[in-house]
Amino acid sequence: MEIDKIDVNRDVRIVFMGTPEFAVPILTGLLENYKVKGVVTQMDKPVGRKGQISASPIKQTALAHTVLVIQPRKLKDDWQDVISLHPDLIVTCAYGQILPREILVYPKYGCINVHASLLPKLRGGAPIHHAIIDGYKKTGITIMHMSPGLDEGDIISQEEIEILDSDTASTLHDKLSILGRDLLLKTLPSILDGTAARTPQDHSQSTYAKNISPEDEKIHFDSNRRQVFNQIRGLAEWPGAYCIMDGKRLKVWKSYITENVFTGMVNGQITGIYKDGFGVKVENGEVVFTVVQPEGKSKMRAIDFINGFHDSANLIGKILE
């Protein structure tokens, strides 16, 4: 997306700070419209099963555009290189480290953040996952001034989108990434000419989206069907929800809810086999698993997983943990 060049101060010195794929469209939008003097991102890290050292998506994007890359191990102790670029404005998006006061107070136009929620809702590191897991009907992007507190700064602009039942963490991630780019580019001219709104957050309305932990990935069949359904799609495509079947982990990547109600069965019990998967009893009904991943294997259709059993009829009544 390009913005009206007449309204843009193209001489402003911008430093961008970010790390994951989510931030790439935001950086790309800035590169197309402004002078990005440098990019700050996390250290290269091992990825994948082989642990191969890899640069962050933001570093790869910056290098492709021949932009200077800075990778402080601990920003709180190693912030001088950022200041040496003399930024007029710092834009952050999912950088992954807290900015020290020395950086926060330096830029002429301040430090602003692109956050993937409608603040003060879903402050923290996993707002996209939790927007779905926690049953939100809508979410969005907030452009905000940064402050020492976690996502507590004054709001400059916001734009919301509806969360559909068809959305997963992956699809919502992609929608919000593009929305973040577009809203930032629409908002920046007012920041630079001093006309941007600045609205303090109502801290009494705040909620938090902590980083996903291993405990969050385990399916709790004592939850109701909407909660289980939301958990599964809120953890797709990463890291995935799972249960235990015959002592082995079974990841569940896709599911849907039915209106079926079962009496005389316990939560976690397989209710039946359908043409597209198998049902599992939960607190107030049934969730049908349609895409699963047995331990040590690739993703597959749940019906193919079932067909791999010699006597699939005996699976009905089996209890998952």
**What amino acid is encoded at 56 in this protein?**
S
Element (H, E) at 241: strand 241-245
Furthest C-alpha separation in the chain: 71
**Secondary structure percentages of the chain, helix, strand, coil, to 5:** 30, 30, 45
Residue 32 confidence (pLDDT) above 90: yes
pLDDT in tens, 112-158: 999 999 999 999 999 999 999 999 999 999 999 999 989 999 999 99
- Of the pLDDT bands very low, low, confident and very high (cuts 50, 70, 90), residue 95 is very high
- Of the pLDDT bands very low, low, confident and very high (cuts 50, 70, 90), residue 263 is confident
Q: What pLDDT, on a 0 to 100 scale, did the predictor assign at position 310?
A: 62
Average pLDDT over residues 269-289: 95
Average pLDDT over residues 290-315: 88
Q: Which two tokens stand for residue 49?
A: 């099963």
Residues above pLDDT 70, as percent of the chain: 95
pLDDT in tens, 38-79: 999 999 988 777 778 999 999 999 999 999 999 999 999 999
- For residue 146, which of 175, 183, 109 has the smallest C-alpha distance? 109
On the question of a cis peptide bond just before residue 120, with omega within 30 degrees of 0, the verdict is yes
Beginning with the edge strand found earlier in the chain, give each strand of the sheet holding 69-70 in spatial order: 69-70, 35-40, 13-18, 89-93, 111-115, 138-145, 155-162
Residue 236 confidence (pLDDT) above 60: yes
Residue with tokens 């107030």: 284
Which residues have C-beta within 8 Å of that of residue 4, sequence separation ≥ 6? 189
Residue 311 confidence (pLDDT) above 80: no
- Of the pLDDT bands very low, low, confident and very high (cuts 50, 70, 90), residue 1 is low
- Of the pLDDT bands very low, low, confident and very high (cuts 50, 70, 90), residue 234 is very high
- Check the CA dihedral 255-217-134-170 and report its sign: negative
Q: Are 96 and 23 in contact (CB under 8 A)?
A: no
Residue 180 confidence (pLDDT) above 80: yes
Average pLDDT over residues 300-306: 93
**Whole-angstrom Cα distance, residue 180 to residue 249?**
36
Residue 308 confidence (pLDDT) above 90: no
- Of the pLDDT bands very low, low, confident and very high (cuts 50, 70, 90), residue 169 is very high
